[in-house]
Amino acid sequence: MISGQFPATRLRRNRRAPWLRAMVRETRLTPANLIWPVFLTAGPEPEPIATMPGVMRHPLGALAGLAREAVALGIPALALFPNTPADRRTDDGREALNPDNLVCRAIAELKSATDAIGVMTDVALDPYTAHGHDGLVDAAGHVLNDATVDMLVGQALNQVRAGADIVAPSDMMDGRVGAIRRSLEADGFVDTHIMAYSAKYASGFYGPFRDAVGAAGRLRGDKATYQMDPANAREALAEVALDVAEGADSVMVKPGLPYLDVVKAVADRFDVPVFAYCVSGEYAMIEAAVAAGMLARDRVVPEMLLAFRRAGAAGVLTYHAPMVARLLGA
């Protein structure tokens, strides 16, 4: 017997049956909370990514099927990331402005397949530059903020004209959200959503992603002069405040699981939707542990995504999106 004053508090009463646990559950995860990142290839066949087991680069001809699959699973949006052919990567990243580039053609494929899926595009130059940086660089290798912002504005307009619903600046240049918002408004795209990568850290968890977009081995130097220091949390709030003031409709924290404190701090402080990106390194770690028999994928992945939701994230970009959506719909 539990000693003390009656009636005894027994918190286990609310855990005694599945229906009761479901009824009192504080945090819910649904397919509507998931965004599915999709890698693109200019080639005719799917290409496996060695450092991301189970993830492929998809040719344009496969995108209609992916869109229909996402709609059937209840996933609301796909996020596109191109592996730009090497002969189209230049120091000035001009392929980002090409209305017939891989991303723009992918948007057209998706939009012709269904109106029921949202299309999100990455606004940054690293998939297009020969040097691997998110912006333009000078002779000394310094990333140029304002010149890069001009390019990002053109890139965003190029994507929106092709039909993108959400543009997501991931470059971390100062002032780019405001410049993109002004240009979209001036061009008549008043309803385009900007999801700003507001707190994107200079992280070691991005390695497999760079393999996926063909940037591995290209980077000259590092990105620490524009992506955030992993030691800083208060600075993330300043970044978010600037992006919201400049016209961001939602904001993102990247990476995800190691930065749940930042997700929570942002969600508690700001009245805009907060998203998190469960990045390639996080995915790869889980898949390695699953392959070694150490973890059960079907159990740990939903648990991890619930942690994002519990911290305050409205949604999560995750390579596990279709798998989790199937589990949730089972």
Contacts of 36 (CB under 8 A, 6+ apart): 66, 70, 75, 77, 78, 79, 317, 318, 319, 321, 322
Kindly report the backbone phi and psi dihedral angles of residue 240, in degrees, each rounded to the nearest multiple of 5, phi listed first.
-65, -45
Strands 250-254 and 274-278: parallel
Sign of the Cα pseudo-torsion (47, 51, 53, 58, in order): negative
Is 223 one of the annotated active-site residues of the chain? Answer: no
Report, in angstroms and rounded to the nearest whole number, the Rg of the chain calculated over CA atoms. Answer: 21
Reported as type and span, the H/E element at residue 167 is strand 166-169
Kindly report the backbone phi and psi dihedral angles of residue 111, in degrees, each rounded to the nearest multiple of 5, phi listed first.
-70, -30
Given the residues 111, 223, 254, 264, select the one marked as catalytic.
254
Given the residues 111, 200, 223, 264, select the one marked as catalytic.
200
* Cis peptide bond upstream of 208, omega within 30: no
Q: Which of 304, 288, 299, 306 is nearest to 327 (CA)?
A: 299
Q: What b/e string do you get for 16-32 counting C-beta neighbours within 10 Å, with b at 16 or more?
A: eeeeeeeeeeeeebebe
- Token pair 């760079």 is at which residue? 210
Alpha-carbon distance of 252 to 183, in angstroms, equals: 21
Alpha-carbon distance of 220 to 218, in angstroms, equals: 6
List active site positions.
200, 254
